[in-house]
Amino acid sequence: MLTKNAAGVKARKRLCMTVNGRAVEIEIDIRESLLDVLRDRLQFTGVKQGCSVGECGACTVLLDGTPVNSCIYLAAWAHGKTVVTIEGLAQDGKLPPVQEAFVDEGAIQCGFCTPGVVLSTTAMVDSGKCFTHDEVRRELSGHLCRCTGYQKIVDAAERALREAEIAADEHPV
């Protein structure tokens, strides 16, 4: 494996980031995407590869709380940042409300888009903002799903947002 390219520039880099609450330090090739590092090197296979061009959203992860398409995000850019993948949401095997809503509403079919949509919905819930129905549809429009026609995904997201709102009213911060 090359460590320098023709111009004498180092093609490898030491990457430090936090993934699902744990500090990770790993040497990467600077051409690697965050998706490749998460899947191939760190075995977070819940991050899915659907298109490699930032179109389908299956590879979505939360980067400092914001959803990004990890397939078109260089791993090197994640240096010093916090990454959450689908594997990082549930604690002690208990489903958080967003995931619970997806299971209960029948929002999952083949499941390949599910990790990405769940992470984007989680980011919406965590933002503490209110979303109209049209805004929910727009927020999720970066996730292609071929199974559901989006109906039950939107229902699950709205349910999770509603429940979070009620919880916030009952236990104001």
Partner 1 sequence: MIGASSIRKEGRAKVLGTAIYTDDKFMSGALHGLTVRSEVPRGILRAIHFGEGIPWEEFTLVTAADIPGTNLVASVVDDQPFLVGIGEEITHSQQAVLLLAHADRHLAEKARRAVRLEIEELPAVLDIQSSLDLQPLIYGTSNLLKEIRIAKGDPDPIWAQAAHVIEGEYRTGAQEQMYIEPNAMLSVVEPKDGLLQVTVWGSLQCPYYVHGALKQLFGLPEKQVRVVAMEMGGAFGGKEDYPSVNGGHAALLAWKSGKPVRLIYDREEDLACTTKRHPSRTRLRTAFDADGNLLALEADFILDGGAYATLSPVVLSRGAVHAAGVYRCPHVRIHARAVATNTPPPGAFRGFGAPQSLFAMERHMDRCARKLGLDAVELRRKNFLRMGDTMATGQVIREDLDLAGLMDRALASIGYRDKRAAFALINEDDSPIKRGVGFSVFMHGCGFTGNGESHVASVAGVEGLADGTVAVLAASTEMGQGKNTVFAQIVAEALQLHVELVDTAPVDTDHVPNSGPTVASRSTMMVGRILEDAAIGFKQALVQQGFLAEPYTPESFQAAVAKAVATLGTLRCYGQYHRPPNIQWDDVTYQGDAYPTYSWACYAAEVAVDLDTFEVKVADFVAVQEVGRVVNPTLAAGQIEGGVAQGIGWGLWEEVTMQRGRMINNQMTNYIIPTSVDLPRIQVIFLENAHAGGPGGAKGIGELPMDGPAPAVVNALENALGALRLDEVPMTPDRLLERCEEVSHG
- Among residues 95, 97, 123, 127, the one that binds partner 1 under rule CB under 8 A: 95
Helix (H) or strand (E) holding 139: helix 133-139
Q: Could you tell me which residues are beta bridge partners of residue 18?
A: 23, 82
| Piece of 62-70, 75-83, 132-140, 162-170 that binds partner 1 (CB under 8 A) | 132-140
- The site that binds partner 1 (CB under 8 A) totals a number of residues, namely 53
Cα 167 from Cα 135, distance rounded (Å): 21
The pairing of strands 82-84 and 12-19 is parallel
- Among residues 47, 62, 75, 125, the one that binds partner 1 under rule CB under 8 A: 47
For the chain, the first-to-last Cα distance in angstroms comes to: 52
CB 56 within 8 A of CB 124: no
Q: What residues contact 151, with CB distance under 8 A and at least 6 apart?
A: none
| Piece of 5-13, 124-132, 141-149, 159-167 that binds partner 1 (CB under 8 A) | 141-149
| Piece of 8-16, 72-80, 146-154, 158-166 that binds partner 1 (CB under 8 A) | 146-154
- Among residues 138, 162, 166, 167, the one that binds partner 1 under rule CB under 8 A: 138
> Residue 169 CB, nearest distance to partner 1 (Å)?
26
Cα 93 from Cα 72, distance rounded (Å): 30
Q: Using CB under 8 A as the criterion, which residues of the chain lie in contact with partner 1 when the complex forms?
A: 43-53, 55-56, 58, 85-87, 89-90, 95, 99, 102-106, 108-115, 118, 134, 137-138, 140-154
